[in-house]
């Protein structure tokens, strides 16, 4: 069970880091979010979900 939880956290963190690095946020913001996710995987991911850089939608 621990392995499955760890795998889910790893996949979620990789997704969060990918989305952060491909966002339109500044370089400094990308570095801070990436480090937060790497050093605090669960808390960093939850914080990223709530407060992280958002995708800008194009007006139609």
Per-residue pLDDT tens for 3-21?
999 999 999 999 999 999 9
Nearest to 21 by CA among 33, 13, 39, 38: 33
Predicted TM-score (pTM) of this structure: 0.84
Per-residue model confidence as pLDDT tens digits over 34-57: 999 999 999 999 999 999 887 766
Q: Into how many domains does the chain fold?
A: 1
Structure tokens at 21: 């690095």
Q: Look at residue 60 and tell me if it is in a domain.
A: no
CA distance 60 to 39: 39
Domain extent at residue 39: 2-51
Answer yes or no: is 57 within a domain.
Answer: no
């Amino acid at each position: 069970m621990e392995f499955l939880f760890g795998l889910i956290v790893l996949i979620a963190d990789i997704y969060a880091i990918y989305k952060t690095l491909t966002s339109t946020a500044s370089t400094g913001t990308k570095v801070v979010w990436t480090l937060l996710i790497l050093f605090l995987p669960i808390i960093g991911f939850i914080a990223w979900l709530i407060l992280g850089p958002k995708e800008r939608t194009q007006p139609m």
